[in-house]
């Protein structure tokens, strides 16, 4: 299977991309090189290779789920540029038209 100029133009249209003619020709060549490499990989005997999700063996590095005290309301509001009683005060963002 090889990629043609028509294929590149079709995919570019689907992706709403525009390319110059020289770029299209370059993409045809690059995509065909990728497909040739995939053909080389497909020709390898992988019957003795087990499928894997990770290339290296990883262990999850989870921390203990320990409850820790959070900020008090006063600590959270301490650096607020504007506040009202116990809330952050923010500019109005909805227009009442």
Q: Could you list the mean pLDDT of each consecutive 10-residue stretch along the chain, which spans 97 residues? A: 93 96 96 94 88 81 88 89 87 80
Evaluate whether residue 85 is within a structural domain.
no
Residue linked to tokens 């116990």? 86
Quick one: pLDDT at residue 84? 85
CA pair distance 62, 32, nearest whole angstrom: 43
Range of the domain at 27: 5-42
Residue 9 lies in a domain: yes
- Is 69 among the domain residues? no
pLDDT of residue 92: 83
Distance CA 37, CA 44 (A): 11
Nearest to residue 81, comparing CAs of 73, 70, 72, 90?
A: 90
- Residue 36 falls inside a structural domain: yes
Longest dimension (CA), the chain: 71
Residue 11: the pLDDT is: 96
- Say how many domains are in the chain: 1
In angstroms, the CA 30 to CA 26 distance is 6
pTM score of the predicted model: 0.50
15 within domain boundaries: yes
What confidence score (pLDDT) does residue 13 get? 96
């Amino acid at each position: 299977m090889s990629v043609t100029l028509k294929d590149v133009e079709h995919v570019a249209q689907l992706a709403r991309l525009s390319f110059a003619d020289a770029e299209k020709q370059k993409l045809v060549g690059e995509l065909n090189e990728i497909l040739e490499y995939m053909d080389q990989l497909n020709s390898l005997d992988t019957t003795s290779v087990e499928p894997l999700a990770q290339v290296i063996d990883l262990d999850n590095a989870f921390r203990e789920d320990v409850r820790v005290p959070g900020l008090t309301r006063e600590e959270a509001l301490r650096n607020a540029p504007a506040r009202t009683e116990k809330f952050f005060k923010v500019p109005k963002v909805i227009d009442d038209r």
